[in-house]
A and B are shown apart, each in its own frame.
Chain A
Amino acid sequence: MIAAIYELLLLLTGSVAGVVGALSGLGGGVVLVPILTLLFGVPIEYAAGTSLLATIATSSSAGSAFIKEKLTNIRIGMSLEIATTIGAIAGALVAAMIYAHNLPNLIFIAFGAVLFLSVIPSAERLFRGRFRRSKPDRTTKLFQLHGRYYDMASKRTIVYNGVRWYLGEAVMFFAGIVSGLLGIGSGALKVIGMDWGMRLPIKVSTATSDFMIGVTAAASTAIYLALGFIQPVSAAPVVIGVLVGAFAGAKIMEITTSNRIRLFFIIVLGLVALEMVLRGIGVI
Chain B
Amino acid sequence: MDIENIIAFTLRAGVLASTAFLAAGLVFIGLPGWQAAASGMISAGVIFLLATPVLRVLLSILMFAMEKNRLYVAITLVVFMNLLIALFVLPAFLH
Contacts and interface: CB of A to CB of B under 8 A. Distances in A.
Interface of A: 3-4, 7, 53, 56-57, 59-61, 63-65, 67-68, 74-75, 78-79, 81-82, 85-86, 88-89, 92-93, 96, 143-144, 214-215, 217-223, 225-227, 230, 232-233, 235-237, 239-240, 243
Given A4-B30, A53-B46, A240 B54 contact: no
A209 to B, nearest CB: 14
Interface string B40-71: 00110110011011101100100100000101
Contacts of A223: 86, 90-91, 94
Contacts of A93: 90
B37 interface: no
A15 to B, nearest CB: 13
Contacts of B26: 7, 236-237, 240
B1 to A, nearest CB: 12
B15 A218 contact: no
Nearest to B18: A57
B86 A88 contact: yes
A126 to B, nearest CB: 28
A38 to B, nearest CB: 25
A89 B45 contact: no
Interface of B: 4-5, 7-9, 11-12, 14-15, 18-19, 22-23, 25-26, 29-30, 39, 42-43, 45-46, 49-50, 52-54, 56-57, 60, 63, 69, 71-72, 75-76, 78-79, 82-83, 85-87, 90-91, 94-95
A144 B5 CA distance: 21
A214 B60 contact: no
Given A63-B11, A79-B75, A227-B94, A89 B82 contact: yes
Nearest to A11: B26
A243 B19 contact: yes
Contacts of B85: 89
